[in-house]
Each structure stands twice: as structure tokens, then as C-alpha cells.
Structure 1
Amino acid sequence: MRLLRPRPTPPPPADPGDILAEAEGLRVRLGSREALHGVCVPVRAGEVLALVGPNGAGKSTLLSALAADVPAAEGVVRIHGHPAADWSAAELALRRAVLPQSATLSFPFAVEDVVRMGRAPHASSPAEDDLALAEAMAATEVTGFARRPFSALSGGERARVALARVLAQRAPLLLLDEPTAALDLRHQELVLRVCRERARAGDAVVVVLHDLGLAAAYAHRVAILCAGKVAADGPPAEVFSERLLSEVYDQPVEVLSHPRTGALLVTPRRNL
């Protein structure tokens, strides 16, 4: 007689500062190209970590490796203290939630049904699922079109629905690949505020960003990637220097203090 495995349960709450994921000596090859070269990055509970850098630097590859979606050629990725390969797919789904760059569906699911997919890993009651669903949709401001087909939404609306699905999953590690790329100014700010709120609640959030201003404003820590390596890792105020950013992006960059608040501002140096 075949014995059924017990359904995995969510991990216990983490303490602030606990390492929920880490890459150690990580090398990743994509075909014949080595996309990451000996990368070491910890991801801590209670923290928003922004991955920034030019196109092709390895940001999305690192995010995928931290999600256990891309295998390591060398080194190791640990999730909740164990090598990523030690977890089953069901166990991983309770520990990390992943937002890819683009969200596509082949069938005309309603928005509410797409968000409900985030509850699939959980053996929870309908009431718990409904509460998680309602909170995720409210946080991303998609409640107003819950019954519309996902395929009928704009790119920005789809991006917010995809984020709501990730939030509904209620995993303690959130891995978000360019969540603001398709969004207007208001919703870019909304998404990064949600990231901070999740970190404040004890989650670890890793977010790939191209907007250095958003990274400076919302990230607790920034890892600057360049040519598959980490060029700097630390608080934005420490690692966002004009010299380093100008070198990494091959574009003159200015780092300024806001005249009213003193907050860090990062902008290309332009000669118009």
C-alpha cells in the first residue's frame, strides 16, 4: 500500500534579521555564457533588498537562482537555511513567492481567480483564503475589477494582479522581478510601499529595479550588479556614489540630497 506524504506546513515566523535566503559563491551558466560569477548575497527578514545594475548584469538570473528556478553551476543557494534542492516544490511554494517579469495566461480567467491561484500551496479554510485574497487585492488596488478577464486588462493592471497573486501566497520570502516596469507613477510608489509594509511585517523582499531613485527611497539594502558580479552591497546611502554608478552604468550619474528632506536622489547627468 502506498503511503501518502503529509501535506507540508508553512514555516514558523522569522525573527528580524534572520537569513531566509542566501547565495554563496554562486556561479550560474545560461547555455555557454556564465551569467553569475561567484556571487554572495544574503536576504534577511524585515528587509527590502533591491538588485540594481545595467541590462545583462545578472539581476534576473540572481533572482531566479534565489527562487530555486535556475540551478547553480557552482556554489549554493540556501532557502530557510537548507540547500534549495532539499525542498520539494510544495515546500518551496510555502517559503517563497515569485513574481516574474511578465504575466501571461492562455485562458480568460477572471482577476479574482488569478489572485486565488496564490492560495494553492495552502491547506487553509475558505474563510482564510478569502481573507488573504481580499487583503492582497486591496493592497494592489485591483478589487474594483475583480470579475474582469485577466486578458482584457492593460499591462499595468496585469502587473498589479500578478503582484496580488504573490501577496495572497503569503510566503515569507518575496522575489519580485521588475514589479514597477509597466506601472504609472502612482502605482510604482504603491508597489514599493507594499514592499516596505511586507518587510515591516517580517518578510524578506528582493526586488529587481531599474529606477535608482526608487531603490534609494525604498530599499534597506542595495546590491549593485555588474557583469555577473556584485560591485557593491549595502545601504543606498553608502553604496550609491557618483563614481561607482557612473562606472557601472557607463553613464554620468549625480547623487544629490533632496533640498527639503535630505533624502537621496539619483539622476543621470544631462547636458541639454
Structure 2
Amino acid sequence: MRLRTRRPTPPARPSPGDVLAETQDLYVRLGAREVLKGVDLTVRAGEVLALVGPNGAGKSTLLSALAADVPAAEGVVRVHGRPAAEWPAPDLALRRAVLPQSAALSFPFTVEEVVRMGRAPHAASPASTPADDDRAVAEAMAATEVTGFATRPFSALSGGERARVALARVLAQQAPLLLLDEPTAALDLRHQELVPRLCRSRAHAGDAVVVVVHDLGLAAAYAHRVALLCAGRVAADGPPAEVFSERLLSEVYDQPVEVFPHPRTEDLLITPRRDL
């Protein structure tokens, strides 16, 4: 008798404001170190949520917990309303896409082949066709401006080019929850602006985007909400204009900070105070 295997199907498109991921009283331990301590966080469709804070604050660990890549020691992480650990891997891959801090490949894949890896979760889905795959790959490559070197080996790219190809792979996955760890770190000035605009575009289309970013100016300009982490806890969570105060940032970063409006756009400008 032939056994029938269950084929995972993509989730329905979320509505604005739907909770796609959340943590409640989350504690995470890595070895003997308690990295996250009682974190409550909600991730909603239609928003870009920036995770900011000093080195070692727990930003990447929180992102990994939301991705179900790091287990909770205490508390709970839910993805699409279900405890993250209960999702079968094929179903989870259709619901969240993850961009790690760095990408390394041991085999000489081309750029297009790497981006096409993002379609792997859809291979078993009855809702996906080869034409869907081709369209998703082409759109992701165009959005990240990597189409021009589609046939080049991934290993021959610069650090910034690799970062953009890795992001294209995540976009091609077309999951409604995007979890991006420092996607702008290796990029030049043009692409540092391109990536947060892409995040905004995905949120406008109804996705939820969580992004770890060190550039507070980018977070202020493009994030709908920011969660400011300090020593494994959320020190503040809200719109950038509410969270990015000189007093709070100076305290969290242990560095005097100035916050003032741009003279033309009135966007927040954030810079260390330099009394030279």
C-alpha cells in the first residue's frame, strides 16, 4: 500500500495588524549565559520592526528565537499563533524566512542558483508552479539589483554583493514573516538605503519584517516600531520618535547621544555627542 504524505500549503495572506510572531516572558540561555530575560514582543503584519541596541544586548538571539532556531529556556515563542517548536519544518519554512548575519557556501553555485534555493520550501506545495518559481526569483533578483551577475559564482562576489544575493534568496521564499539579521552591515551607501526601502515595501504589501540594525538613523527613517534591547531585556518598544530620546539612548549605549530633526525632512538624526 502506498502511503500518502501530507503536502504543506502556504498560509493565507495576513491582514494588516495580524500577529505573525510573539514572545511572552521569553528567557534564552546559551551555555551558562542568560542572554534574554523575560522578553515580551509582538510582531504584526504590515510593520517593519527594528531590533536595536548595543553589542551583546540579545538582538540576534531574539531574532533566532522568533525563527525557532534557538529554543526557549522559559516562556513561549509563537509563530502564526502556534508555539514555534510545534511547527513541522516544511510548514515553518512557508511562514518565515531568515537572513543570518553571514552566508557561506562550499560549492560553486551561481548567483541565480543561490536565489532559487529560496523556493525550496515551495517544492512540495500544491499551490506552487515552475512559473511561480521563475517569477519569484526574477523579482527578488531585480529588487536587490543582482540580476546583472546572475551567472557569476557566489564565491566570486564581494561581501556586499553576497549580502544582497542572500537577501534575494529570502525575498524569493515569499514567506509573510521576514527575519533579517544586520542586512545592511556590508553594504555601500546606495544599498544601505535600498534594503530598508525593500523592507518598507514588503510591509506595505502586508508582510511582517523584523530587522536587526545598528544604524539608528536607518531605524528612525524606515521602521514603524523599534524595540531597544539592553542586557537581554526590552528597554523600550514603540515608534522611533518615542523610543529614540537622548536620555534613554545615552543610558543604554553608555555614550552621550544627540537626537535632532533633519533641517529639511524632520527625520530624526542620531549621532554620538562629540565635544571636540
Task: Please state which band the TM-score falls in when normalised by the shorter chain.
Answer: over 0.9
Matched residue SS, 1:206: strand
1:219 corresponds to:
223
Amino acid at match of 1:146: A
2:12 corresponds to:
12
| Correspondent of 1:196 among 197, 200, 220 | 200
Amino acid at match of 1:173: L
Aligned equivalents of 2:260 and 2:17: distance in 1?
29
Aligned equivalents of 1:247 and 1:219: distance in 2?
22
Amino acid at match of 1:186: R
Does residue 137 (structure 1) correspond to residue 141 (structure 2)? The answer is yes
Matched residue SS, 1:8: coil
1:169 corresponds to:
173
Amino acid at match of 1:35: V
2:115 corresponds to:
115
1:54 corresponds to:
54
1:32 corresponds to:
32
2:158 corresponds to:
154
Matched residue SS, 2:98: strand
2:80 corresponds to:
80
Displacement after TM superposition at 1:3 (Å): 2.5
1:264 corresponds to:
268
CA deviations on 1:106-153 (whole Å, 9 max, x unpaired) are: 001000000000000113211110000000000000000000000000
Aligned equivalents of 2:53 and 2:4: distance in 1?
46
User: What pairs with 1:238-257 in structure 2 (closer than 5 Å)?
Assistant: 238-257=242-261
Amino acid at match of 1:126: P
TM-score (norm 1): 0.99
Amino acid at match of 2:267: A
Aligned equivalents of 2:158 and 2:263: distance in 1?
36
Aligned equivalents of 2:3 and 2:19: distance in 1?
34
Percent identical among aligned pairs is 83
Displacement after TM superposition at 1:85 (Å): 1.2
Does residue 45 (structure 1) correspond to residue 41 (structure 2)? The answer is no
CA deviations on 1:220-244 (whole Å, 9 max, x unpaired) are: 0000000000000000000100000
Amino acid at match of 2:261: S
Which consecutive segments of 4 or more residues in structure 1 shift more than 2 A? Answer: 1-5
CA deviations on 1:172-216 (whole Å, 9 max, x unpaired) are: 000000000000010010000000000000000000000000000
Alpha-carbon RMSD across the aligned residues, in angstroms, is 0.7
Choose 257-266 or 53-62, whichever is displaced more.
Answer: 257-266
Displacement after TM superposition at 1:5 (Å): 2.4
1:69 corresponds to:
69
1:186 corresponds to:
190
Q: Show structure 2 runs of 5+ residues with no match.
A: none
Aligned equivalents of 1:198 and 1:131: distance in 2?
16
Displacement after TM superposition at 1:2 (Å): 6.1
Amino acid at match of 1:49: L
TM-score (norm 2): 0.97
Choose 65-74 or 118-127, whichever is displaced more.
Answer: 118-127
Amino acid at match of 1:228: G
Displacement after TM superposition at 1:43 (Å): 0.2
Amino acid at match of 2:43: V
Aligned equivalents of 1:19 and 1:267: distance in 2?
33
Aligned equivalents of 2:4 and 2:182: distance in 1?
39
